[in-house]
A and B are shown apart, each in its own frame.
Chain A
Amino acid sequence: MEDKKFETPLIEVKNLKEYFNINVGAFKTKPLKAVDDVSFSIKKGETLGLVGESGCGKTTVGRTLLHLYKPTGGEVFYNGDPVKTKSQIKEFRKKATMVFQDPYSSLNPRMTVSDIIGEPLDIHKMYANKKEREERILELMAEVGLNSEHASRYAHEFSGGQRQRIGIARALALDPDFIVCDEPVSALDVSIQAQVINMFDELQDKKGLTYLFIAHDLLVVRHISDRIAVMYLGKMVELADADEIYNRPLHPYSKSLLSAVPVPDPKIARANQRIALEGDIPSPLNAPSGCPFRTRCRYATEQCACEMPEFKEVEKGHFVACHNIDKAN
């Protein structure tokens, strides 16, 4: 990759926190730390992959970043400017949009395709007259490979792959710089999935888009990402270049996560030594003290129970939060 492309961070997230208050008794609530002290930055034109298992907070990171949830703490910077006040958030949302996982529930069944794609234009009043709106919608539809005659149809008339294209056209409507893609291909069949992944690639090349690509399918994430971040129970445990993290994961959790991926190649799959994890992910309501992974970690020591390891750069561009990196490798 050309270094020049990645010079300025487009998005910077510092110590982002998102706690939800959960009712645990008649009048008692308890904070669920969905995202706890997460920091990262994404450079212009880059794709950052965010992986982790369900409940690890990866979706919440995407949504809190866009201020769809009000952050409990921490800051978000766009092009170096803070995103904090109401007007800043409104401006930010013109430039940062989202593609959702489920193409069935994320499109309003009562709206036609052209109204779905045109809604962001309506909200931000991005056109002078009806004709301009119409043209922009058709242009967007062509961009994602939809036929113009589909404009007056409803979402239920389309297959999953085509619906996802509608969702992407909507995300592109305001000509954004940054798109949060929240599991955009997990609901699709393999052959359709590849079509949509290629489309994300092409759009990025054409428009210089920056992506935060959230997914649990590690093969897909590896394919599309420049850098990858791994989350566990609301914390970021590792962040590095895509190749680096696949060839040389340092955190014990990343190691077992990557070894658990079924490889579509029988000989490799048979020879593959999986690092099996015991047990399930603890509930985020009763997260373990110290390092969240220590209950399933084979290298855990007393220190892990007492203090959360710092998320630090151990090699250039390779961040890990673990007390026992030396032991684990």
Chain B
Amino acid sequence: MSLLEVKDLRTSFFTPAGEVKAVNGVSFFLERGKVLGIVGESGSGKSVTAYSIMQILASTGKIVGGSIKLDGEELVGAGEKVMKTVRGNKISIIFQDPMTSLNPTYTIGHQLMEAITLHTDRNKKQAWDRAVEMLQLVNVNEPLKRMKQYPYELSGGMRQRVMIAMALACEPDILIADEPTTALDVTIQAQILELMQSLQKELGMAIIMITHDLGVVAQMCDEVIVMYAGSICEQGTADEIFYNPRHEYTKGLMRSIPTQNTAGKKLHPITGTPIDLLNMPEGCPFAPRCDAAMKVCIKHPGPFMKINDDHAARCWMNVKNGMEAGEVEPVLESEKGGEE
């Protein structure tokens, strides 16, 4: 049994303009001690997937279908009482912006101790010791001094360390990191990623790493999920995704990032803009921006096909061979629909 099993998860936001299907049928497994990366652009549903697991959605959002099993226990529909024992204890989350996720009016020590006393039966003195211990674990210098300081007195990297300390204080099985280093400078980012890697090995927890930075994924992750418009378009081991991408969107992403070899040359961007989730096409959501789009892509969403044991992708290109000639004809720009 996997540590976390997400099956056909569907989360929608009900807005005045209509239902936004932010997560539309996402399934994956997470094994103990593994690092899973979820990559995608803004609006792809990567953060909403994480928030759905934690059930910390905004009031307009609702899980409308699917199942999330933690150690075999169903979390969808489990109720707030169960979720309170899960959050912080079994699954913790760290957010992108460490400034807004710490309370500016309380000291670091107060906030760390709150997390500890809430989830364990330690008394105040023990909680204090544990908090200091956690700060040492995440390499915060002068932990005793930091305990009495307020968030504004700490640098960005230091605040993110405090957030990690808080998330790990109750030894969760899963740490969800939602763009943990996006707001940080590269040298600080390197420090934080290294810290997460060493803590992951030391404590044996699983990490779900949500990011848009393919460099961070390459460095951190064992497995990768690529999301577009609320669904998974490709899933596999990091090596498979980077060296053998089998979905046109993933290929497009890889081509759009500047690397050592692109200096002085043109990049190959994905044309167009991300899709409007209120007006989803009936076929593949990426078809309007896809250079290789075929007739069949416009009409039907791609089948989620196994490429090999470590790799699956949702793209018609992978089943092209067995299809009728009319279906695989390339489509003209004008037939694609979408914007412009």
Contacts and interface: CB of A to CB of B under 8 A. Distances in A.
Interface of A: 53-54, 147, 159, 161-162, 189-195, 197-198, 201, 216, 218-220, 222-224, 242-243, 246, 256-257, 259-270, 272, 274, 276-277, 279-281
B6 to A, nearest CB: 24
B257 interface: yes
A187 B270 CA distance: 17
Contacts of B340: 147
Contacts, number: 130
B269 A192 contact: yes
A281 B242 CA distance: 34
Given A191-B41, A219-B258, A266-B218, A198 B187 contact: no
Contacts of B257: 190, 194, 219, 264
Contacts of A190: 41, 212, 214, 253, 256-257
Interface in B167-198: 185-191, 193-194
Given A194-B268, A276-B194, A269 B218 contact: yes
Contacts of A279: 141
A54 B269 CA distance: 28
A162 B274 CA distance: 12
Contacts of A161: 273
A216 B186 contact: yes
Contacts of B194: 274, 276
Contacts of B260: 222, 246
A162 B215 contact: no
Contacts of A223: 258-259, 262-263, 267
Contact of B267 (A194, A222, A263, A281): A194
A280 B267 contact: no
B2 interface: no
A190 B40 CA distance: 9
Q: Give 5 closest A-B pairs by Cβ, nearest first.
A: A262-B215, A194-B269, A223-B258, A194-B256, A53-B185
Contact of A197 (B156, B189, B258): B258
A198 B267 contact: yes
B133 interface: no
A198 B269 contact: yes
Nearest to B211: A262
B187 A277 contact: yes
B125 interface: no
A191 B252 contact: yes
A189 B187 contact: no
11 contacts: A147-B340, A191-B252, A216-B185, A262-B193, A262-B213, A262-B219, A263-B215, A264-B218, A264-B259, A267-B239, A280-B155
Interface in B216-241: 216-219, 238-239
B218 A265 contact: yes
A interface majority secondary structure: helix
B273 A257 contact: no
B188 A280 contact: yes
B254 interface: yes
Nearest to A224: B258
B186 A53 contact: yes
A265 B221 CA distance: 11
B271 to A, nearest CB: 8
A260 B186 contact: yes
Contacts of B256: 190-191, 193-194
B61 interface: no
Contacts of A193: 256, 269
Contacts of B101: none
Contact of A195 (B186, B191, B269): B269
B239 to A, nearest CB: 6
A201 B267 CA distance: 10
Contacts of B155: 280-281
Nearest to A159: B273
Given A190-B257, A194-B257, A281-B185, 13 more contacts: A190-B41, A191-B269, A191-B270, A193-B256, A194-B256, A194-B268, A194-B269, A219-B258, A242-B263, A259-B190, A264-B257, A266-B238, A274-B190
Contacts of B338: none
Contacts of A274: 190, 194
Nearest to B181: A262
A265 B214 CA distance: 8
A280 B267 CA distance: 34
Contacts of B103: none
Contacts of A197: 258, 267, 269
A147 B189 CA distance: 39
B70 interface: no
